[in-house]
């Protein structure tokens, strides 16, 4: 079983986190896991990310949970405390997790948390107790309005194909062979350049729609874009901290205007460029 998370389909409702709590707070599902601590643990949680500034601000949520790694660091650290099931779900041994704070530290992604009340290490179980009882999906997926979260059951080869065709990426470095993959992660880890073009006609500043914008890096054309009816453009998927670019804006009947722009870890917005 793999989980795919589409960043572009997440509306930030947090149903996943609340469903997880609904299933696990106040319910013990031993031998899978004990109860989740009511407020102080989250086994799944969307994290808000903003890109750009008004009026080009974007907001997206990136949902994090245990990646159920095939080569899980927790399993490497404590082979006897971690069970990797045939379906790929990685479970902590509920007995051996008790009093075992080292398990928390063993996950490089911080996805194992400590239950202060029960003094035990815990994490997402993919609702294995439900899957074993015939459920098709874990609770977080079942409550997701657009199925921004989804699970697929397929073999490794099929999933490799899916990764390519759907441009799936891991959230982190991809080491340890995670089984949770993301779509549209560029909204988290790339930047965009935005700007507006206008022309001055009869004393009135008018939006320059359908104008051409070219983006150059070190003199080479990177990409081209057209302005919308607001005379605005947005060039996306530029690597963070990719440095200096040159933007060339062309409006019919006017000399092109060039300007320099630097991409840091923030998305830059150019002031309006007025032709004429």
Partner 1 sequence: MENNLAFQAMQSYEGAVKDGDMFAIDALLAELSAAYPEFKKDMSQYDTTVMLKLRDGSKARLLTFSGGTVKGEPGVGKNADIEMIFEDENRARKILAGLIACKMDVVVSAMKNGGFCLTGPDDSAMWFSTLIRKAFSFDILYQKNFGTKMPNGEMRYVTGTNGGPLFVYVKDDKIVRVTPMDFDESDAEPWTITARGMKFTPPKRTTITPYAVGWKSLVYSPDRLLYPLKRVDFDPNGERNPQNRGISGYERISWDEALDIVSDEIMRVRLEHGPGSVFAVNSSHHNWGYVGYYHSAMKRFFNLLGVTEMLANPDSWEGFAWGAVHHYGGSGRRGATEPFSTVEDCMKNAEMIVYWSADPESTSGNYAGQEGTVRREWVKQLGIPVVHIDPYLNSTAAFMGGRWLTPKPGTDVAMALAIAHVWLKTGAYDKDYVAKRTIGLDKWQAYIFGETDGVEKTPEWQETKTGIPARTVRALAEAWGSRKTYLACGGIHSFGGACRGSYGTEWARAMVCLMAMQGLGKEGVNFGGLQMGTPLDTRFWFPGYADGGFSGDFMGTGAGFQMYNRMPMTNSINSEYQRIPRLRIPEAILDGKTSANNYSNSSVHGQFLEVKYPAPGHSLVRMLYKYGGSYFGTQPESNRFAKMYRSDKLDMVVSQSVWMEGETKFADIILPACTNFERWDIGEFASCAGYIDKSYLQNNHRVVHMEHKCIEPLGESKSDYDIFLAICNRLGMGQVFSEGGSDFDWVKRFFNYTDLAEKVSWTEFMEKGYYVVPPLPENRRDPLALKWFADGGKMNTPEQTTAPSEYYGRFAEGLQTPSGKFEFESGTLKRFDPNDPERPPICTWIPSWEGPESELYQKYKLQLISPHPKFSYHTMGDGKDSTVNDIDEHRMLINGYRYWIFRMNPEDAAARGVKHGEVVEIYNDRGSVLCGLEVTNRLPKGVVHSYESCADYQPIGVPGESPETNGCINILTPSRFITKRSHGLSVNACLVEVRKWNGEG
* 273: DSSP letter: E
Cis peptide bond upstream of 31, omega within 30: yes
Q: Which of 70, 93, 169, 228 binds partner 1 (CB under 8 A)?
A: 228
Q: Which of 4, 5, 33, 42 binds partner 1 (CB under 8 A)?
A: 42
Confirm if 177 and 71 have CB atoms less than 8 A apart: yes
Closest by Cα among 160, 171, 102, 89 to 130: 89
Q: Dump the DSSP string for 121-154.
A: EE---TTHHHHTTT-SS-HHHHT-TT-SEEEE--
- Within residues 232-271, the interface with partner 1 by CB under 8 A covers 232
Q: Which of 31, 79, 145, 239 binds partner 1 (CB under 8 A)?
A: 145
Q: Which of 33, 122, 142, 184 binds partner 1 (CB under 8 A)?
A: 142
- Within residues 185-204, the interface with partner 1 by CB under 8 A covers 196, 198, 204
Work out whether 45 is an interface residue with partner 1 (CB under 8 A): yes
Q: Which of 99, 158, 226, 230 binds partner 1 (CB under 8 A)?
A: 230
Find how far residue 224's CA is from the centre of its chain: 26
Dihedral over Cα of 93, 123, 185, 190: its sign: negative
**One character per residue 19-38, x = contact with partner 1 (rule: CB under 8 A):** x-xxx-xxx----------x
Q: Which of 30, 146, 152, 259 binds partner 1 (CB under 8 A)?
A: 146
The interface region with partner 1, picked from 7-15, 68-76, 81-89, 168-176 by CB under 8 A, is: 7-15
- Local structure of 272: helix, strand or coil: coil
Indicate the helix (H) or strand (E) that contains 101. helix 101-106
Q: Residue 255 Cβ, how far from partner 1 at the closest point, in Å? A: 20
Q: Which is nearer to partner 1, 29 or 216 (CB)?
A: 29
Q: Which is nearer to partner 1, 50 or 158 (CB)?
A: 50
Q: How far apart are CA 1 and CA 197, in angstroms?
A: 49
- Local structure of 4: helix, strand or coil: strand
Confirm if 49 and 187 have CB atoms less than 8 A apart: yes
Q: Residue 175 Cβ, how far from partner 1 at the closest point, in Å? A: 27
- Within residues 73-132, the interface with partner 1 by CB under 8 A covers none
Residue 237, Cβ density class (10 Å: 0-12 exposed, 13-18 middle, ≥19 buried): exposed
Work out whether 133 is an interface residue with partner 1 (CB under 8 A): yes
* 269: DSSP letter: B
Find how far residue 275's CA is from the centre of its chain: 39
The interface region with partner 1, picked from 49-57, 166-174, 217-225, 246-254 by CB under 8 A, is: 49-57
Work out whether 149 is an interface residue with partner 1 (CB under 8 A): no
Interface residues with partner 1 (CB under 8 A) are: 9, 11-15, 17-19, 21-23, 25-27, 38-39, 42, 45, 47-48, 50, 52-60, 133-134, 139, 142-143, 145-146, 196, 198, 204-207, 209, 228-232, 272
């Amino acid at each position: 079983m793999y989980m795919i998370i589409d960043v572009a389909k997440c509306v930030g409702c947090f149903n996943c986190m609340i469903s997880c709590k609904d299933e696990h707070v106040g319910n013990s599902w031993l031998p899978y896991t004990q109860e989740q601590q009511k407020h102080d643990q989250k086994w799944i949680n969307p994290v808000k990310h903003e890109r750009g500034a008004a009026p080009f601000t974007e907001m997206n949520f990136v949902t994090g949970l245990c990646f159920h790694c095939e080569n899980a660091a927790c399993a490497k650290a404590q082979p006897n405390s971690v069970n990797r099931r045939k379906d790929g779900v990685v479970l902590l041994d509920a007995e051996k997790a008790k009093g075992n704070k080292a398990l928390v530290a063993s996950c490089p992604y911080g996805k194992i948390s400590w239950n202060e009340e029960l003094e035990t290490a815990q994490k997402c179980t993919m609702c294995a107790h439900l899957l074993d009882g015939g459920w098709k999906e874990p609770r977080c997926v079942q409550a997701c309005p657009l199925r921004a979260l989804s699970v697929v059951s397929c073999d490794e080869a099929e999933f490799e194909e899916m990764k390519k065709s759907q441009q799936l990426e891991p959230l982190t470095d991809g080491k340890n062979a995670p089984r949770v993959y993301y779509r549209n992660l560029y909204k988290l880890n790339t930047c965009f350049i935005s700007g507006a073009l206008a022309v001055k006609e009869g004393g009135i500043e008018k939006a320059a729609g359908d104008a051409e914008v070219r983006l150059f890096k070190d003199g080479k054309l990177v990409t081209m874009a057209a302005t919308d009816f607001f005379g605005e453009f947005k060039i996306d998927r530029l690597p963070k901290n990719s440095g200096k670019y040159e933007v060339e804006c062309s409006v019919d009947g006017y000399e092109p205007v060039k300007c320099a722009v630097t991409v840091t870890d923030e998305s830059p917005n150019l002031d309006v460029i007025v032709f004429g």
